[in-house]
Amino acid sequence: MQSKSRSMHFITKQVSSIFLLMLSGWVYAQPNPQSIELSKIVPIADVHMHTYRQNPRSAKWWHEMMDANGVMWGGAVGDYREDVQAELGNRYIPAVGQPEFFRVFFKDGRSGLTDPENETFKDLYARSEILFKEGKIKGFGEFHTDNHSSGPPGIRRSIRTDNPAMRKFYEIANRYGGFVQIHAEFDGDFEKDILNLSTDYPNTTTVLSHCLSTKDTDYPAAILSKRKNIVCELSSLGAVHVSLLNIPRSPHAFDSGGLYRNWIKFIETYPDQVLLGSDPCCGIDAAYSEIITELRSNVLSYLSPVTIEKVANKNAVRIFSLKNN
């Protein structure tokens, strides 16, 4: 009786470990040796690198962090900082508008965010026009239009992305071949809005932050498949952010076991429209090296060598007209 129950227990254990193996085979893929080696050394363009003013790291600190991690270019989200621009030169991807967008939200609420006559926005339109003309900025962002369930609770909100204030940002960017980086989550309204904006302003590239902050790659795929001038970036989708920020859910796209199969398939289907980002937000900038290491070992190494180079830097070089210093 005892030995029978022991063997039953053994069989149950075997079955459950086979099941776990099948499950991990379904979730995880194995990287190939060539991809692993390339991922360690490929230069990176970090298109979600916040250099906040309010919790300032010196421009030199950013420069050293980038050098230490093989990050050749960084930025594409706020805050725009002239000292960082002076320090990094062509390695900076300068964007304006994030602090102003927050200021309007906190002062005038959701209705302020859609009003092109808002004084803060009017100043920003005028200032950005000058900066574009001088070649000092390349775009706008990060604009949180619909982050109702992502990001810090105090800044959560939802507005229509296609609104008169946003159209003005797209119109300015369109004249300079610039970009707008948007943090949003997928729904029917957002899909409709972003497709309309990208049709009406074909020279503006939309960068979707965090590839829409989702586990479901069908959402970014639904949009990327319909427009060449919409791309997405992979920041905050892995285990490092979940753990450092105590986010009460599992990672969306990658963990120490690697890049999830649905994300590999998604990126290999749209290799010209996916970029890398670190998102050292919310006081986790000290973990910059850990974040970049995660991108190299748990994201890039699971892609084909051709796709690795595109996602790591070639797409960004093309979209943001990046140059070596």
Closer residue to Zn ion (CB): 50 or 314? 50
Pairing of strands 92-93, 179-184: unpaired
- Smallest separation (angstroms) from Zn ion to the CB of 236: 7
Closer residue to Zn ion (CB): 31 or 252? 252
Q: Which stretch binds Zn ion (CB under 5 A): 67-75, 132-140, 197-205, 275-283?
A: 275-283
Closer residue to Zn ion (CB): 142 or 185? 142
- Smallest separation (angstroms) from Zn ion to the CB of 52: 10
- Smallest separation (angstroms) from Zn ion to the CB of 144: 8
- Smallest separation (angstroms) from Zn ion to the CB of 63: 20
- Smallest separation (angstroms) from Zn ion to the CB of 94: 15
- Smallest separation (angstroms) from Zn ion to the CB of 142: 5
Closer residue to Zn ion (CB): 291 or 303? 291
Residues 126-165, one symbol each (x = binds Zn ion by CB under 5 A, - = not), give ----------------x-----------------------
CA distance 157 to 308: 34
CA distance 58 to 46: 18
CA distance 84 to 25: 44
Closer residue to Zn ion (CB): 141 or 258? 141
Tokens of 271: 């290799």
Closer residue to Zn ion (CB): 264 or 285? 285
Closer residue to Zn ion (CB): 281 or 299? 281
Q: Residue 285 in contact with residue 244, Cβ under 8 Å?
A: no
- Smallest separation (angstroms) from Zn ion to the CB of 48: 6
Backbone angles phi, psi at 99, to 5 degrees: -65, -35
Q: Which of residues 276-295 bind Zn ion (CB under 5 A)?
A: 279, 281
Count of chain residues binding Zn ion (CB under 5 A): 3
Please report, for residues 44, 71, 75, 88, 187, the alpha-carbon distance to residue 91 in angstroms, rounded to integers and kept in the order given. 11, 9, 9, 5, 35
- Smallest separation (angstroms) from Zn ion to the CB of 137: 17
Select the residue whose beta carbon is closest to Zn ion and give its number.
142
Residues 235-274, one symbol each (x = binds Zn ion by CB under 5 A, - = not), give ----------------------------------------
Closest CA to 75 of 160, 138, 4, 135: 138
Listing from the earlier edge strand, what are the strands of the sheet with 179-184?
95-97, 139-146, 179-184, 205-208, 230-233, 274-275
Tokens of 250: 């599992």
Closer residue to Zn ion (CB): 142 or 285? 142
Within 8 A by CB and 6+ apart from 258, the residues are 28, 29, 31, 298, 301, 302
Phi-psi region of 76 (alpha: psi -120 to 50; beta: other; left: phi over 0): left
Residues that bind Zn ion (CB under 5 A): 142, 279, 281
